[in-house]
Every structure is written in C-alpha cells, then in structure tokens.
Chains A and B, each alone.
Chain A
C-alpha cells in the first residue's frame, strides 16, 4: 500500500507540475507583459477600493 502511495505521489506531482507549466505558457501568451507586471506597491490601496467584498 505504501509503495502504491509512493507511485501515486509521483503521478500527482507530475500532473500538477505539467498543468502549472501549461497554465504559465497560456497566460504568458494571452496577456501582454505590461498587464502582467502592472502591480505597484503603493497603488494597491486604490485598486482594492474598486472591488469590495
């Protein structure tokens, strides 16, 4: 059972790692670099005002 669990762990790791790589690729090709890196330190206060939760 433990050995099977060990293989399952490898499997999960590989699947999730591949998914993250895929998502990373998708995001980087669909959005411009300017949008992705648009976060600024002090401007967060203003940005958070727009979407109240």
Chain B
C-alpha cells in the first residue's frame, strides 16, 4: 500500500518540490508515542534513584500534568500554525525571529541527544543480552543510526508506518506484562507493600521528590514532537490535536502501569540504577516468554524513538535553512522521496559522534535540559498568542480550555524542574544556557542580516494586536 502511494506522488509539479502531505492521525500518534515510549523502558526509573519509589510515582503524576498542559497548549497553537519545524514556526509568528532560532536549536538538541540515548540503549541492551566478552555496542549503535537515517531519507510515510507498528508492539508488551502478573492481587507476584514501606518510600524526604522531577520528565519527553509533522499531515487542524491528545492518554496509562509493575517487583535501590527496568521486571516474573518479549520490546521502543527523533530533528533543521536562519542549502527537498535529505545527512554524523563518545546519562541530561528550556518558552508563547490574536480573530483548529491555567501550571512546573536539574546538573545547565546566549548574540548581531524580514511571516492572519 505504502509503495503504491509513494509512486503516485513522486512527480514534481512545475519546478517546485515540497514535503509530501500523506500522513494521518495514526502517524501523528506513532510519531509522538514512538519517541516517548522508550522512556518507560529506561530513564524514568532514575527518578527512583533520586527520591525513592514513591517519588517516582508522584513525579509521574505531576509531570503528567505538566505534559498534559504541553499537549493542550501545543495542540491549539500548532493546529493554527501548521508548518514543519513545529514550535519553531510558532515562535517565529508569535514571539520573534531570535526566539524561533533558539527554539529550533532546543528541538534539534533535544531530539538528537534523545536519538543518541536510544542508540546507546539499544547497543547496551544487545551487549547485555549477548554476554559475549569483547563485544562492544559500537556496531549496533552505528547500524541503528544509519539504518533509521536511511529510512527517513527514503520517505516519511514508510518511516512512520514502521514507527506505528513497532511502537504498537512495544506498547502491547507493557500491557501484556501488566496483565500477566495478576495486578489485581498483591502478594502472588507483585509485592508492593513489602517493597515500598513507610520507611523507604521517600528516603530523601521531599527534596528527593523535587530532585526526581529531572528524570520524571523522561516519562513523556518528546510528545510535543508531533507538531513537526504539520507540513506532512493531510489535515493538520484535525489530526495534530487528535494524535497528540490520544498519544498523551496512551502514555499516562503506560506510565502508571510501568510504575506499578516495576515498583512491585524491585527494591527502589535497584530500580534506580538499572538501565532496563521493564526487561528486569520481565526476568523477575520468572517467565522466559515475558523476559524475551520485554527484551525485544526494549529494542523496538529504542528504535521507534530514534526513528521519530531523526524525523523531527531534520524537520527543525530544514526549517532553519528555509528561512535562511542557517544557510539555505539545508532547505533542499529530495525531488523523489520528498524529504529534507540534506538535513538528515548533516545530522547523521553528529549523532554518531555523540553516540560513540557520550554515555547514556549525559545524553539523557542534554536532552532534558533542552526540553525544559522549550517548555518554558511554550508557557509564555501561549500567553502572547492569546493576547496578539484573541479568540475569534483567527480560525483555530482547536482551542484549549481553562486558559491561562495550563500555561501557569506549565511555567511553575518548569521552574521546579530547573531547580531539580540544579540539584544534579546545575553546572551543565549554566554551561548550556551560556551557549544558547552566545549563539543568540551571534544570530542577532550577525546572522540575521541574511534573513528576509517580511517573508518570514507566512500565515494568512491579520496584524497582531498591539503592533
């Protein structure tokens, strides 16, 4: 089916090539959940290390609230500003060019580092499974990154069809694990009340809960990536809110199931340091079938995530080129496959380099830092959006309820998360912010002179209020 679709639309109309509009809501779901689901297979559990098993559950809920706000806000803005680059195009139309440049860099960093984490996880998982002396993860990392880049190069429809299938399998495996440990009876397989006791539930007290926010982000990081598909979705105003919200609901369910099973099977000290909480949970049930299922699911989740990340990072980089924020060379679209092929190729060696030299924890932290900077922007962005174009002044595909409550909640939670990052990676946060500041100075005073002014504003909207 997919092949036929691709063949019918490979002709170039006139002398213009553009990205292909071929995706539906299921692809949006696959892109969003595909990127995030790996977080249930590794990453979220480090929040148990930071604050104990109960802290992991508390942040699962509170960060869930943060991301529900993100999904709601994002759905409203992106169903209106439907362009590749997602939050980048939003920032460009609502806040201004320099903000847009920064947001695009947040996106590229967050996704490329997430891709790196996924590849390292996949390599390490295979090495752990093989148990062969001298076997290193490098070949598996290289294959992951190159094969997925190739898939992305060859077309977005096939890329996201593949993502849909592997994400669904990984998700179903969590559900199977959940129901096969008889979750309704404690004591048989699950021993929550013996593993999480009043004495060890919060070993560091409430400061541990706040510190746990840093990795609690990992339960959901990347769901906002659905917006990158805006130029390739058949009806963005409908599909993007629908796919994003469905994705968020799916993830909330998966996060709750994952915590419940893992916290009922492992002491928090072990849960906090393992790289494979769900695979370990499979092992601890004693069933070889479950163990192998969760091993495969861990690999698939990592693949799906890396795949979505390549897709998203390339779209953001491509948009930067298209507006000449970076050399326009990057804005080339492949005439046959209709993908931003130069951006995909450019980011490939960068991802490879980091995958070979960084370790999993570092890569995850880089990704989280850029993510939180971006969420801070989003909370302010939606306020400005509603002020410059009040309800009724333009057509919105979706209007989120309770404004400005979600924006305020999001902003407060971002502040808490910055504090949590300070408790673990404060110097890194300072270094990264200084980097963004310096590159902003470079952009504002030098690079921006190559950008056409009025052409950046592409939406058919009236003049914003107050200008």
Contact = CB atoms under 8 A, between A and B. Distances in A.
Are A and B direct contacts in the complex by CB distance below 8 Å? Answer: yes
Interface in A7-35: 7, 9-10, 12-13, 16-17, 19-21, 23-24, 27, 31, 33-35
A7 B18 contact: no
Interface string A41-53: 1111001101101
Contact of B18 (A3, A9, A16, A44): A44
B109 interface: no
B332 interface: yes
Please classify how large the interface on chain B is, using the bins under 10, 10 to 19, 20 to 34, 35 or more: 35 or more
B408 interface: no
Contacts of A34: 15
Nearest to B145: A13
17 contacts: A2-B135, A10-B142, A16-B146, A16-B149, A16-B150, A20-B345, A24-B345, A36-B17, A36-B332, A37-B321, A39-B331, A39-B333, A40-B458, A42-B83, A43-B16, A44-B231, A53-B5
Given A39-B322, A42-B458, A53-B234, A9 B142 contact: yes
Q: Which 6 A-B pairs have the closest CB atoms?
A: A42-B458, A9-B143, A2-B130, A36-B332, A9-B139, A13-B146
Given A27-B334, A41-B458, A12 B16 contact: no
B266 to A, nearest CB: 27
A10 B18 contact: no
B150 A24 contact: no
A41 B8 contact: no
A9 B12 contact: no
B460 interface: yes
Nearest to B127: A2
Contacts, number: 117
A3 B132 CA distance: 8
Given A3-B135, A6-B135, A51-B9, A41 B147 contact: no
Given A10-B139, A48-B18, 18 more contacts: A3-B132, A6-B136, A7-B139, A10-B143, A20-B149, A24-B341, A33-B332, A35-B12, A35-B16, A36-B335, A37-B329, A38-B333, A39-B331, A43-B18, A44-B21, A44-B231, A51-B8, A53-B9
Contacts of A9: 139-140, 142-143
Interface of A: 2-3, 5-7, 9-10, 12-13, 16-17, 19-21, 23-24, 27, 31, 33-44, 47-48, 50-51, 53
A53 B21 CA distance: 9
Nearest to B140: A9
Contacts of B130: 2
A3 to B, nearest CB: 6
Given A10-B142, A12-B146, A41-B458, A27 B341 contact: yes
Contacts of A2: 126, 130, 132, 135
Nearest to A47: B18
Contacts of A20: 149-150, 153, 345
Contacts of A53: 5, 8-9, 21-22, 234
Given A27-B334, A35-B12, A53-B5, A42 B132 contact: no
Contact of A42 (B139, B140, B460): B460
B18 A39 contact: yes
Contact of A27 (B5, B13, B335, B460): B335
Contacts of B145: 13
Given A35-B12, A50-B13, A6 B18 contact: no
